[in-house]
Amino acid sequence: MLTDEHALRVTLRSRPVAMPVLADFALEQTSIPQPAAGEVLVRTIYLSLDPYMRGRISSNELYETPVAIGETILGGTVGEVLQSRADGLAPGDFVLGMGGWQSHFVAHAADLTRLDPSHAPLSTALGVLGVPGFTGFAGLREIGKPQPGETVVVAAASGAVGTVVGRTARAAGARVVGIAGGAEKVSYLNDFGFDAAVDHRSPTFAADLAAAAPNGIDVYFENVGGAVWEAVMPLLNPFARIPVSGLVAHYNEDSSPSGVDRLGQFMRTLQMKRFTIRGFVQSDFVDTQWEAFQREVAGWIAGGSFDYREDIVTGLENAPQAFIGLLSGRNFGKLLVRVAAEETDVRHIV
């Protein structure tokens, strides 16, 4: 029996207006849930924090139902099975699932994926070998289609999406330019193997980007929007491809800024230069790209040619602050919350 133990969870207290604040979140103590037949009880080890969550806690979300007020915030997790009432999963198994911002949860076995801890570090299932990495890999392959010698640009380049975009583009023979904020990240990108790295916080950012892409830009992996997109647009070559996976710079906007309306002119440029712009969600490409993704990225990790970074915050209670920081680019590498240690505390299992 699980005794004198409590579960923790973070719920949505109020819908954020523009940038979320700590008061939009609530930390609650609850009892540990019990699995029904066919279910397992999981303790969360790692919680993934991702920009898409900003959309899910808004009321104007278009493609999914938003998180309700008072509900636990959703999120991908790696955890360990504590109790099982389902075939195929046993206590001690590690599982990937959508556990959300909480220390314990019950789930149907069908909604969990068992992880082999000898395949790759467990945390990578939420980063470079998980949904973020797959977003970069599949969007670049299916929409960006980089050719040898072409120039690929990606922003937020030190994160899980960005490093996979960079590594995948390099494998395709393209020249890769990474954009990140601050000297430390730029230095990392150079070490990682980007052909050039540009700091978007520099006052000369637009000129720096132009210098880093002297032959123009053939593929821009758009996961940021805002000022980066402004600097990229004039550099796009004819027939440029632009996979659009997210626009973190606009997630906190509740209305469009006033000023000159550039939509019409942009569409005209798109026609004249024959751009392809396509929005996507990684799940659109699971059928065609998932197996190649797992094989290739795991191979790069095992072969030592993929120096990904993780930014790990300890304690579920620190998830809201870490998430707010994520929206401002304060993390460095894939942002995870370590909710519990990887080693099982056997006292808690009968």
Write down the least CB distance from residue 226 to its own copies, Å: 7
Write down the least CB distance from residue 333 to its own copies, Å: 23
Q: Could you tell me the CA-to-CA distances from 70 to 9, 181, 304 in Å, in that order?
A: 11, 34, 44
Pick the stretch among 1-9, 23-31, 56-64, 176-184 that binds its own copies (CB under 8 A). Answer: 56-64
Residue 263 lies near its own copies (rule: CB under 8 A): yes
Instruction: Name which of residues 16 to 55 contact its own copies (CB under 8 A).
Output: 55
Residue 145 lies near its own copies (rule: CB under 8 A): no
Alpha-carbon span 48 to 30, nearest angstrom: 21
Residue 334 structure tokens: 């894939």
Pick the stretch among 190-198, 202-210, 275-283, 337-345 that binds its own copies (CB under 8 A). Answer: 275-283
CA torsion angle 331 334 337 340 (round to 10): -140
Query: Is 263 or 350 the residue whose CB approaches its own copies more closely?
Result: 263
Instruction: Name which of residues 205 to 234 contact its own copies (CB under 8 A).
Output: 222, 225-226, 229
Alpha-carbon span 21 to 19, nearest angstrom: 7
Residue 273 lies near its own copies (rule: CB under 8 A): yes
Question: How wide is the angle at C-alpha 336 spanned by C-alphas 186 and 12, nearest 5°?
Answer: 120
Number of residues that bind its own copies (CB under 8 A): 44
Q: Are 285 and 291 in contact (CB under 8 A)?
A: no
Write down the least CB distance from residue 51 to its own copies, Å: 11
- The single residue listed with the structure tokens 């393209």 is 174
Residue 129 structure tokens: 């070998």
Q: Are 340 and 45 in contact (CB under 8 A)?
A: yes
Alpha-carbon span 114 to 93, nearest angstrom: 7
Residue 244 lies near its own copies (rule: CB under 8 A): yes
Residue 276 lies near its own copies (rule: CB under 8 A): yes
Query: Is 280 or 300 the residue whose CB approaches its own copies more closely?
Result: 280
Residue 300 lies near its own copies (rule: CB under 8 A): no
Residue 327 structure tokens: 């929206």
Residues 210, 281, 298, 312: which binds its own copies (CB under 8 A)? 281
Report which DSSP code applies to 329.
T
- The single residue listed with the structure tokens 């900003």 is 54
Residue 279 lies near its own copies (rule: CB under 8 A): yes
Query: Is 1 or 263 the residue whose CB approaches its own copies more closely?
Result: 263
Query: Is 26 or 281 the residue whose CB approaches its own copies more closely?
Result: 281
Residue 180 structure tokens: 């990140």
Binding site for its own copies (CB under 8 A): 55, 61-63, 222, 225-226, 229, 238, 244-247, 249-250, 253, 255-281, 284
